[in-house]
């Protein structure tokens, strides 16, 4: 055609140096097109996932698993610069993968709004939680009781004498209710469709021991962590977002013997004698929620139990897929 003839004539008039520059420019252009059109060639771009509470023990494991999985592009949110540096050092991720932001202050007068670097995220995994600290005064009192306990033939140090308190501004209502609602709202504002929450079993029982942490003997104080978590969960299920809410049993280190995941609903697993699960298993369930749980709206409890040697153990994805086929989910009217 006339246009192609003009192109040929133009190329013919080029000097060797201009020809090399044109070839290099064409190569860069082709590379750019291939990089940003991977889906057109049957290659899915990594799913961008935000992990809040990424400096915590469970959040760090979720973040690490996502960083190591080519299916995902992880961004971790932490509360302080110190936590950010520690996370980068531990996971060996790039600085661009970690953002410092207090999720409890996202949309308050003191907050700075939506942090930069979160655009394009498709899902958020919420691993934030209020964490109590041991009261030093209760430790001293327990230590002073040791001689008397020994004389009376009792256990020298009674761990039940210890009291746990939340730091100012880090109460369950602030972190597990207001903070989680802010994160759910963040998902809405960023146009995300999927939210995964790592919560806790026991939410159907107001008298659960965990609710007493932070309260005095008269029941006053900043406690009720499970109740505040459940209120935030209700806020999520009443939205139009897709979600997976995970209620683990007691969290512990990775088991030395083979274990299988057990999933159920409405605190039924609390009847088991052993009702714990490793943080590693919870992290794997979070990844499963982002894959086989995508497009679902489900809330469940989980523990792990030992299996006989030689028995095949289902992966987290297989266990969740099998549970999803039952159609069960938590009843929030309880």
304 and 252 Cβ atoms separated by less than 8 Å = no
Q: What stretch of H or E contains 10? A: helix 2-13
Count Cβ atoms below 10 Å from residue 181 Cβ, excluding itself.
17
Q: Which is the catalytic residue, given 64, 129, 200, 278?
A: 200
Distances (CA, A) of 184 to 115, 256, 257, 301, 309: 15, 36, 37, 21, 42
Question: CB-based burial of residue 100 (10 Å sphere; 0-12 exposed, 13-18 middle, 19+ buried)?
Answer: middle
What's the distance, CA 253 to chain centroid?
17
Picking from 202, 324, 332, the residue whose alpha carbon sits closest to that of residue 263 is 324
DSSP 221: B
CB 80 within 8 A of CB 12: no
Catalytic status, residue 200: yes
Using a 10 angstrom Cβ sphere, with 0-12 exposed, 13-18 middle and 19 or more buried, the burial of residue 16 is exposed
**First-to-final CA distance of the chain:** 74
- According to DSSP, the β-strands at 259-264 and 297-306 are antiparallel
Cα torsion angle, 188, 190, 191, 195, sign? negative
Please give the Cα distance from 15 to 20 (Å, whole number): 9
Residues with catalytic roles: 200
């Amino acid at each position: 055609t006339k246009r192609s003839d003009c192109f040929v004539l133009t190329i013919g008039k080029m000097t060797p140096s201009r020809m090399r520059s044109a070839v290099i420019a064409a190569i860069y252009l082709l590379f750019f097109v291939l990089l940003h059109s991977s889906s057109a060639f049957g290659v899915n771009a990594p799913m961008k996932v935000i992990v809040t509470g990424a400096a915590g023990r469970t959040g760090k494991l979720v973040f690490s698993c996502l960083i190591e999985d080519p299916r995902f592009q992880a961004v971790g949110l932490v509360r302080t610069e110190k936590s950010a540096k520690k996370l980068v050092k531990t996971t060996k991720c790039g600085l661009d993968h970690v953002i410092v932001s207090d999720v409890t202050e996202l949309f308050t007068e003191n907050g700075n709004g939506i942090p930069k670097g979160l655009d394009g995220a498709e899902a958020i995994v919420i691993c934030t939680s209020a964490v109590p600290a041991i009261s030093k005064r209760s430790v001293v009192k327990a230590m002073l009781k040791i001689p008397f306990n020994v004389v009376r033939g009792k256990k020298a140090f009674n761990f039940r004498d210890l009291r746990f308190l939340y730091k100012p501004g880090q109460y369950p209502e602030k972190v597990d209710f207001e903070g989680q609602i802010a994160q759910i709202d963040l998902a809405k504002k960023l146009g995300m469709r999927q939210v995964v929450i790592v919560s806790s079993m026991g939410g159907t029982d107001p008298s659960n021991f965990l609710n007493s942490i932070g309260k005095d003997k008269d029941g006053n104080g900043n406690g009720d962590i499970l109740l505040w978590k459940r209120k935030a969960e209700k806020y999520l299920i009443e939205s139009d977002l897709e979600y997976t809410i995970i209620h683990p049993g007691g969290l512990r280190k990775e088991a030395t013997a083979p274990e299988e995941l057990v999933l159920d609903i409405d605190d039924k697993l609390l009847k088991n004698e052993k009702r714990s699960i490793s943080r590693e298993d919870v992290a794997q369930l979070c990844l499963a929620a982002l894959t086989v749980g995508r497009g679902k709206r489900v809330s469940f409890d989980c523990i792990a139990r030992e299996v006989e040697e030689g028995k095949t153990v289902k992966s987290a994805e297989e266990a969740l897929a099998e549970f999803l086929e039952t159609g069960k989910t938590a009843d929030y009217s309880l």
